[in-house]
Amino acid sequence: MYLNRRLALVLLAILTLTAAGCRTLVERTLERPSLSLREVRMVEMGLLTQRTQLVLNVANPNPVPLPVKAVRYKIALAGLNVAEGETDEAFTVPARGDTDIRLQVRTNVLELAGQAANMLTNFNGRVDYEISGEVEPNLPMTGPFPFARKGEVALNRAR
């Protein structure tokens, strides 16, 4: 009985090390996807809230499609935190291709009023953004890929 327990512990240790090694191998083989904010569109402006559509672009540099379970993100426009969350649906980014994700964001105008006024004072149709978070692939033995990016994006009004 003591021998069986010891054998079971040794097998468990080997299995754990093998799984960790496979995960590391898969993560080293895959290049990290990159994310950018492609578009910001003001959809609705109310007295107390505004609705904005954000379009994130996910680019896959790998020679194989990348199934994605979720993207967790934080987005700031002109230094103002406007969105934080997680995508609702899984999707696949084609091999050496990209996919757009559309997010609907509601913000409280009163909370943003001071900073938004400053942003509009210097408004030229474009706004600086920062986006960070992680992409969780829908692949066995692969953990999430962190990302962070800064850039500039056009601020559009609803058509």
* pLDDT at 89 (0 to 100): 92
pLDDT at residue 140 is higher than 80: yes
Of 139, 127, 126, 128, the C-alpha closest to 60 is: 139
Over residues 29-83, the pLDDT tens digits come to 789 999 999 988 878 777 777 788 889 999 999 999 999 999 999 998 888 888 8
* pLDDT at 43 (0 to 100): 80
Instruction: Measure the CA–CA gap between 1 and 105, rounded to whole angstroms.
Output: 60
* pLDDT at 12 (0 to 100): 57
Q: Which residue has the tokens 């829908």?
A: 138
**What's at 21, amino acid-wise?**
G
Residue 73 near residue 81 (C-beta atoms within 8 A): no
Q: Which residue has the tokens 């935190």?
A: 81
pLDDT at residue 8 is higher than 80: no
Over residues 89-137, the pLDDT tens digits come to 999 999 999 999 998 888 766 655 555 555 555 556 788 899 999 999 9
* pLDDT at 112 (0 to 100): 56
User: In Å, how far are 35, 60, 94 from 70, measured between CA atoms?
Assistant: 13, 15, 16
* pLDDT at 23 (0 to 100): 44
pLDDT band at 24 (very low <50, low <70, confident <90, very high): very low
- Residue 144, C-beta contacts closer than 8 angstroms, at least 6 positions apart: 72, 134, 135, 136, 137
pLDDT at residue 27 is higher than 50: no
Instruction: Measure the CA–CA gap between 64 and 121, rounded to whole angstroms.
Output: 45
Instruction: Measure the CA–CA gap between 91 and 99, rounded to whole angstroms.
Output: 9
Instruction: Measure the CA–CA gap between 22 and 39, rounded to whole angstroms.
Output: 38
Instruction: Measure the CA–CA gap between 65 and 110, rounded to whole angstroms.
Output: 43
Q: Which two tokens stand for residue 83?
A: 């969105």
